[in-house]
Chain A
């Protein structure tokens, strides 16, 4: 039975204002991020790259959130697992591979930072670091600046639930609450801060903390792309109406180890991980699209082939690309004469 024809009401994505093409695109980015991530794990194991920090299990929420934002004008402060997010707001596979291989052409850092430390002024992806949560006050500052300049944009920042315990989380949220700033805080609650599970991280719910700062806190199933899209979209609408920030806690599960330097089965069971693979948002989205007659296994195969080809090209380009010059280590400590 075809879901589209079986009901008088519009399918969910249409109710949310997403066209058929957009919702298919959303799925494509989710799959792209997954394949990119899996390939990087392999590249690291093969000794081609030094390190990979994975976002497998989190792509659904990342991509859905990006679709709910203004990808031409908003400011983004992703954290280190947000491959799905940065791909969706315009970073290319080749650019990400340049970063993975630490090559000079890496637009994020010119090969200076670990992969996963995103930044691109062109895409309004604000440069990030490794000490977690420092980006939260930055997002607040950008929202403050946008408000001062009367721009109807938002800043969107992500972080893990471990990060929600840092002072910068609380200081940033409170500041944004006081000033009613157009900022969206999205916690990607993947249930682990490296090895420490949420029951040892959180005394309550992350979303509930928003109440203390005077704005809405919403928990959403991070494996449900359309629900994530809905709550981020509503948060954006509130923000541009001048109604202030929103905290979103997207519930998900980090399906991969913390990084290529981590053995996750030292602190969690295979059964637990397998159980969470059953909740993965990507097959869920695929099922929805097939039910809506928007997708087919034939298309899936074609897309997989296309992604593999793009990955292959990106990897080849990154492998062939030159490293930064050693002495370029000395550049850009301060602005050169005439630079801003």
Chain B
């Protein structure tokens, strides 16, 4: 099994799906000749040609809207938003159109589009190359939203997204692109949408999250186990819409102490919904108040290194929160 970076896994997923199904195509800014500003689509245009790996005009609503039209016709478009910070011009197309096409047509039309967008900071991207926009789309029924943590999941979830009959937002973490390197099978597999994944079994505290911060949680858990004998149970949501309610409840019950982590800011984030589910379903099985460790409620992440560091989660911050919860 080859070792590859998270970004390679995303590229491989697109390549495999394009080889498998000629209706799959990629469109976006700089995805063609350049191979994407992060190299996510590198080499795809050489293999599949200009039409199936299409450099588009710089206009995000058209990228989404054209992809939606093509999807309704029967194609399987993968629309790339260069940074999730720049996808807001496409929000009307995603929320008013893609999310509602099946519903509003009473199941006559469907919109199997994938919108890929890099999220997250820690790369000195400043306010507009660092954001996590999940909460803007979260709570819009009709959309599925996935946010892989590992290279393995990135490949399997993207392949599942391409094959999904409904619109899927694929939030890939740009800090993970090169940071995460692991074994990824070269064969055809999918990671099912809607299923959370237990990353680590534990008995003292439960950490629930998605995307990059789970790496901090995993590192912190290893240290806490070795240093203090604290056993952490870690659940990766993987799909943030629809949430895997059963897995969340099971993970919360497992230890009775829950910490939710995400980089998107705290207020109105996915974590609030996760906490609400736990409160509704198993409040009296908890031994501590539900904790959230999230990005601060400021408009976005500043570029200045100490400010960026202040904003970002880290192993140390997550470890501290986990320790406090264990001690409660």
Q: Does B93 contact A (CB under 8 A)?
A: yes
Task: Count contacts between A and B, CB distance < 8 Å.
Answer: 143
Residue interface bits A121-157, CB-to-B below 8 A is 1, else 0: 1000011010100101111111111101000000100
Q: What are the residues of chain A within 8 A of B62 when measuring CB–CB?
A: 137, 140, 168, 171-172, 174-175
> B69 is contacted by which of A120, A131, A144, A333 (Cβ under 8 Å)?
A144
- A138 and B65 form a contact (CB under 8 A): yes
Q: What are the residues of chain B within 8 A of A308 when measuring CB–CB?
A: none
> Which A residue's beta carbon lies closest to that of B112?
A340
> B102 is contacted by which of A143, A155, A333 (Cβ under 8 Å)?
A333
Q: Does B324 contact A (CB under 8 A)?
A: no
Residue interface bits B11-47, CB-to-A below 8 A is 1, else 0: 0000000000000010000000000000000000000
Residue interface bits A214-246, CB-to-B below 8 A is 1, else 0: 000000000000000000000000000000000
> A129 is contacted by which of B25, B100, B166 (Cβ under 8 Å)?
B100
Q: What are the residues of chain A within 8 A of B105 when measuring CB–CB?
A: 108-109, 119, 121, 127
Q: What are the residues of chain A within 8 A of B165 when measuring CB–CB?
A: 334-335, 339-340
- Tell me the bound Cα distance from A340 to B100 in angstroms: 15
> A126 is contacted by which of B51, B77, B109 (Cβ under 8 Å)?
B109
Q: What are the residues of chain A within 8 A of B107 when measuring CB–CB?
A: 110, 331-332, 339
Residue interface bits A312-340, CB-to-B below 8 A is 1, else 0: 00000000000000000001111100011
- Tell me the bound Cα distance from A144 to B61 in angstroms: 16
> Which B residue's beta carbon lies closest to that of A126?
B72
**Cβ distance A150 to chain B, nearest Cβ, rounded Å:** 11
- B92 and A134 form a contact (CB under 8 A): yes
Q: What are the residues of chain B within 8 A of A140 when measuring CB–CB?
A: 62, 65-66, 69
- A178 and B57 form a contact (CB under 8 A): yes
- A332 and B106 form a contact (CB under 8 A): yes
Q: Does B222 contact A (CB under 8 A)?
A: no
> Which A residue's beta carbon lies closest to that of B72?
A126
- A109 and B67 form a contact (CB under 8 A): no
Q: Does B71 contact A (CB under 8 A)?
A: yes
**Cβ distance B66 to chain A, nearest Cβ, rounded Å:** 4
- B104 and A175 form a contact (CB under 8 A): no
- Tell me the bound Cα distance from A142 to B110 in angstroms: 13
**Cβ distance B218 to chain A, nearest Cβ, rounded Å:** 31
Residue interface bits B183-220, CB-to-A below 8 A is 1, else 0: 00000000000000000000000000000000000000
Q: Does A90 contact B (CB under 8 A)?
A: no
- A119 and B108 form a contact (CB under 8 A): yes
> Which B residue's beta carbon lies closest to that of A129?
B96
Q: What are the residues of chain B within 8 A of A134 when measuring CB–CB?
A: 65, 92-93, 96-97
Q: What are the residues of chain A within 8 A of B112 when measuring CB–CB?
A: 340
**Cβ distance A214 to chain B, nearest Cβ, rounded Å:** 12
Q: What are the residues of chain B within 8 A of A335 when measuring CB–CB?
A: 102, 110, 165-166
Q: Does A75 contact B (CB under 8 A)?
A: yes
Q: What are the residues of chain B within 8 A of A167 when measuring CB–CB?
A: 59, 61, 89
Q: What are the residues of chain B within 8 A of A107 when measuring CB–CB?
A: 108
- The interface size bin for chain A is 35 or more
- Tell me the bound Cα distance from A257 to B81 in angstroms: 41
- Tell me the bound Cα distance from A172 to B67 in angstroms: 11
- 8 Å CB interface, B138-186 against A: 141-142, 144, 165-166
Q: What are the residues of chain A within 8 A of B57 when measuring CB–CB?
A: 171, 174-175, 178
- A137 and B93 form a contact (CB under 8 A): yes
Q: Does A94 contact B (CB under 8 A)?
A: no
- A175 and B66 form a contact (CB under 8 A): yes
Q: Does B310 contact A (CB under 8 A)?
A: no
- A334 and B144 form a contact (CB under 8 A): yes
- Tell me the bound Cα distance from A137 to B62 in angstroms: 6
Q: Does A258 contact B (CB under 8 A)?
A: no
- A334 and B72 form a contact (CB under 8 A): no
Q: Does A52 contact B (CB under 8 A)?
A: no
> A141 is contacted by which of B68, B101, B110 (Cβ under 8 Å)?
B68
Q: Contacts A148-B25, A175-B57, A334-B142 given: A112-B106 contact, CB under 8 Å?
A: yes
- A137 and B65 form a contact (CB under 8 A): yes
- B106 and A110 form a contact (CB under 8 A): yes
Q: Contacts A120-B108, A171-B62, A334-B142 given: A141-B102 contact, CB under 8 Å?
A: no
- Tell me the bound Cα distance from A112 to B96 in angstroms: 15
- A333 and B103 form a contact (CB under 8 A): yes
- B68 and A112 form a contact (CB under 8 A): no
> A148 is contacted by which of B51, B64, B68, B97 (Cβ under 8 Å)?
B51
> Which B residue's beta carbon lies closest to that of A183?
B69
Q: Does B296 contact A (CB under 8 A)?
A: no
Q: Does B126 contact A (CB under 8 A)?
A: no
- Tell me the bound Cα distance from A174 to B101 in angstroms: 24
- Tell me the bound Cα distance from A293 to B98 in angstroms: 50
Q: Does B70 contact A (CB under 8 A)?
A: yes
Q: Interface centre among A106, A127, A142, A175, by most B CB within 10 Å? A: A127
**Cβ distance A146 to chain B, nearest Cβ, rounded Å:** 7
Q: What are the residues of chain A within 8 A of B124 when measuring CB–CB?
A: none
Q: What are the residues of chain A within 8 A of B56 when measuring CB–CB?
A: 175
Q: Contacts A171-B62, A335-B166 given: A145-B104 contact, CB under 8 Å?
A: no
A interface list, Cβ under 8 A from B: 75, 106-113, 117, 119-121, 126-127, 129, 131, 134, 136-146, 148, 155, 167-168, 171-172, 174-175, 178, 331-335, 339-340
Excluding A129-B104, A141-B68, 16 further A-B contacts by CB distance (< 8 Å) are: A112-B103, A119-B104, A127-B108, A129-B100, A138-B65, A138-B66, A139-B69, A141-B77, A142-B72, A148-B75, A167-B59, A168-B61, A175-B59, A333-B141, A334-B142, A340-B112
A-B contact pairs, 30 of them (CB 8 A): A106-B106, A108-B106, A109-B104, A110-B106, A111-B106, A113-B104, A121-B109, A127-B108, A131-B96, A134-B97, A137-B93, A138-B65, A140-B62, A141-B69, A141-B72, A144-B69, A144-B70, A145-B70, A145-B73, A145-B75, A155-B69, A168-B62, A171-B62, A175-B57, A332-B106, A333-B103, A334-B165, A335-B165, A340-B110, A340-B112
6 closest Cβ contacts across the A-B interface? A141-B69, A137-B65, A110-B106, A138-B69, A171-B62, A141-B66
